[in-house]
Amino acid sequence: MIKLIHFKSDLKHIFREKIILLLFLIPLMIPVLFRLMTELLVPFLNRYITFSILPYQSYILSATLLMTPFSLGVVMGFVMLDDKDGKISELMSITPNGRLGYIVNRMMMIAVFTFIYTCFSYYVLHIYLISLLTLLYISFLLCFYGSTLGLILFTIASDKVKGLTYAKGLNILLLFAFADLLHSRWLTYLAYLFPPYWITKIIEQPTNFIYVISGLITILCWFLFFAGITDKKVAF
């Protein structure tokens, strides 16, 4: 079902459009930028004010890692919207792989790069230590999260112009990764429903079985819900 030719075709599409290419490369730039800030900007500020990033290191790592599935999910959504405009998805739906095969192929490309980019971001940022097993698990979760964001964008947007607007709105989900910093019980309870919150909790307490399982269940529920909508309700 998954063919290398689809990867090559998608990559050509990505490199052909500047906006999509920028979104595709942003996850590689963010950890470098954050690393420079922690290495250069923070020591400079410490000359004038008393400030420590130690209590916030896990949140910085979480935000950096979460930017990868967001950017790549938007890339996936834009590629699928282009397919919809070009009637390519209609042609794919009548192939032996069918509509499901088309969706899986699009998700696999984003999942592969999300996994690679997540590991890259962690080692470049190098701000908060987690075990290799935890990193691999978080990368696995973010693969599904990135695909989910792509499906959401494809489902709610009719074209790339609207898609770019909706993508900015989806970025608000990142704020739930910082819910605990506000010390608001109702906000924390609300954050339970969103994947970014659990990514932060797993980074902070990777041995907490409840956090590990809750993160998995939350992300899979989001993924299955929007995959079902895309498969059943979106007209190809």
Average pLDDT, the chain: 84
Percentage of the residues of the chain whose pLDDT score is greater than 90: 46
Return the percentage of the chain with pLDDT > 70, whole number. 86
Residue 135 has pLDDT above 90, yes or no: yes
pLDDT at residue 194 in the model: 95
Q: Any idea of the CA torsion for 182, 184, 186, 192, to the nearest 10 degrees?
A: 50
In this predicted structure, what is the pLDDT of residue 11? 77
Q: What is the mean pLDDT of residues 123-131?
A: 92
The reported pLDDT for the residue numbered 10 is: 72
Alpha carbon 35 to chain centroid distance? 20
Distance (Å, whole) CA 226 – CA 153: 10
What integer pLDDT is reported at residue 103 of this predicted model?
74
Q: Which helix (H) or strand (E) holds 156?
A: helix 132-156
What's the rounded mean pLDDT across residues 76-85? Answer: 78
Cβ neighbors of 27 (< 8 A, separation 6 or more) are 67, 68, 71, 72, 117, 120, 121
